[in-house]
Amino acid sequence: MSTYAQKKGFGATVWDYLTTVDHKKIAILYLIAGGLFFVVGGLEAMFIRIQLAVPDNDFISAGLYNEILTMHGTTMIFLAAMPLVFAFMNAVLPLQIGARDVAFPFVNALGFWLFFFGGVFLNLSWFLGGAPDAGWTSYASLSLHSEGHNVDFYVLGLQISGIGTLIGGINFLATIINMRAPGMTYMRMPLFTWSSFVVSALILFAFPPLTVGLVLMMFDRMFGSNFFDATAGGNTIIWEHLFWIFGHPEVYILILPAFGIFSEIFATFSRKRLFGYSSMVFATVLIGFLGFMVWAHHMFTVGMGPIANAIFAVATMAIAVPTGIKIFNWMFTMWGGSIKFTTPMLYATAFIPSFVAGGVTGIMLAAAPADYQYHDSYFVVAHFHYVIVGGVVFGLLAGTHFYWPKMFGTMLNEKLGKISFWLFLIGFHLTFFIQHFLGLMGMPRRIFTYLPGQGFETGNLISTVGAFFMAVAVLILLINIIMTSIKNERVGNDPWEDGRTLEWAIPSPPPFYNFKQLPLVRGLDAYWVEKMEGKNGMTPAEPLGDIHMPNSSILPLVMSFGLFVAAFGAMYHVDDKSWAIPVLVIGLLITFGAMFIRSVKDDHGFHIHKEDLLDDDDKGAKA
Amino acid sequence: MHAEEKFTDATWPASPETATLEGKNKFLGFWLFLGGETVLFASLFATYLALKDKVPDSSHKLAKDIFELPLTFVATMLLLTSSLTSVYAMYHMKNNHFQKMQAWLLITVLLGAAFLGLEVYEFNHYVHEFKHTFTSSAFGSAFYTLVGFHGAHVAVGLAWILTLMLRNAKRGLNLYNAPKFYVASLYWHFIDVVWVFIFTVVYLMGMVG
A410 DSSP β-pair partners: A490
- A562: Cβ contacts below 8 Å, ≥ 6 apart: A587, A588, A589, A590, A591, A592, A593, A594
Distances (CA, A) of B40 to A86, A245, A481, B194: 23, 12, 41, 11
A540 DSSP β-pair partners: A519
- Mutation test of the interface with chain A: which of B21, B27, B32, B160, choosing the one with the most A Cβ atoms within 10 A? B32
A444 DSSP β-pair partners: A377
CA atoms within 13 A on the CB side of A494: 16
Contacts of A599 in chain B (CB under 8 A): 160, 163-164, 167
Task: Report pLDDT digits (tens) over B25-64.
Answer: 999 999 999 999 999 999 999 999 999 999 999 999 999 9
Task: Report pLDDT digits (tens) over A348-379.
Answer: 999 999 999 999 999 999 999 999 999 999 99
Task: Report pLDDT digits (tens) over B135-183.
Answer: 999 999 999 999 999 999 999 999 999 999 999 999 889 999 999 999 9
Q: What is the pLDDT of residue A359?
A: 96
Domains of chain B, each with CATH number or no CATH: 19-46+74-208 (1.20.120.80)
Number of residues that this document lists for chain A: 623
Question: What is the mean predicted confidence (pLDDT) over A150-177?
Answer: 96
Q: Write the residue in B36, B47, B136 that is nearest to A238 by C-beta.
A: B47
- Residue A490, pLDDT above cutoff 50: yes
Distances (CA, A) of A480 to A474, A496, A536: 10, 18, 31
Is any Cβ of chain A less than 8 angstroms from the Cβ of B139? yes
ipTM, two decimals: 0.95
Of A81, A85, A84, A109, which is closest to residue A22 (Cα–Cα)? Answer: A109
Count Cβ atoms below 10 Å from residue B185 Cβ, excluding itself.
25
Q: Which residue of A has its CA nearest to B24?
A: A178
- Mutation test of the interface with chain B: which of A107, A144, A212, A547, choosing the one with the most B Cβ atoms within 10 A? A212
Question: What is the mean predicted confidence (pLDDT) over A276-284?
Answer: 97
Q: Which DSSP helix (H) or strand (E) runs through A361?
A: helix A343-366
- Mutation test of the interface with chain B: which of A205, A225, A242, choosing the one with the most B Cβ atoms within 10 A? A225
CA B33 to chain centre: 14
Instruction: Decide if A355 contacts A409 (C-beta within 8 A).
Output: no
In one-letter notation, the amino acid at residue B14 is A
Q: Which of residues 78-137 of B touch A (CB under 8 A)?
A: 134-137
Q: What is the DSSP string of A397-408?
A: HHHHHHHHHHHH
Q: What is the pLDDT of residue A621?
A: 44
Task: Report pLDDT digits (tens) over A376-427.
Answer: 999 999 999 999 999 999 999 999 999 999 999 999 999 999 999 999 999 9
Contacts of B21 in chain A (CB under 8 A): 178-179
pLDDT band at A8 (very low <50, low <70, confident <90, very high): confident
Tell me the average pLDDT of chain A: 94
A548 DSSP β-pair partners: A607
- Helix, strand, or coil (residue A490): strand
In one-letter notation, the amino acid at residue A69 is L
Of A494, A502, A487, A343, which is closest to residue A406 (Cα–Cα)? Answer: A494
Q: Which of residues 186-225 of A touch B (CB under 8 A)?
A: 204-205, 207-209, 211-213, 215-216, 219-220, 223-225
Question: Can you say whether the dihedral through the CA atoms of A112, A118, A122, A123 is positive or negative?
Answer: positive
Q: What is the pLDDT of residue A616?
A: 67
pTM of the entire predicted model = 0.95
CA B69 to chain centre: 20
pLDDT band at A3 (very low <50, low <70, confident <90, very high): very low
CA atoms of A557 and A553, how far apart (whole Å): 9
Q: What is the pLDDT of residue A611?
A: 85
Contacts of A225 in chain B (CB under 8 A): 134-135, 140-141, 145
Q: Which residue of B has its CA nearest to A245?
A: B43
Q: Which residue of B has its CA nearest to A213?
A: B43
CA B93 to chain centre: 20
Q: Where are the alpha helices (DSSP H) in A488-579?
A: 526-532, 555-572
Is B176 in contact with A231 (Cβ distance < 8 A)? no
Count Cβ atoms below 10 Å from residue A336 Cβ, excluding itself.
10
Task: Report pLDDT digits (tens) over A533-544.
Answer: 999 889 999 999
Domain ranges of chain A: 3-553+603-618
Is A604 in contact with B37 (Cβ distance < 8 A)? no
CA atoms of A599 and A597, how far apart (whole Å): 5
In this structure, what are the phi and psi dihedrals at residue B59, rounded to the nearest 5 degrees? -75, -15
Instruction: Decide if A218 contacts A159 (C-beta within 8 A).
Output: yes
Taking every pair of Cα atoms in chain A, the longest distance, rounded to a whole number of angstroms, is 78
Fold of A3-553+603-618: Cytochrome C Oxidase; Chain A (1.20.210)
- Mutation test of the interface with chain B: which of A227, A246, A549, choosing the one with the most B Cβ atoms within 10 A? A227
A377 DSSP β-pair partners: A444
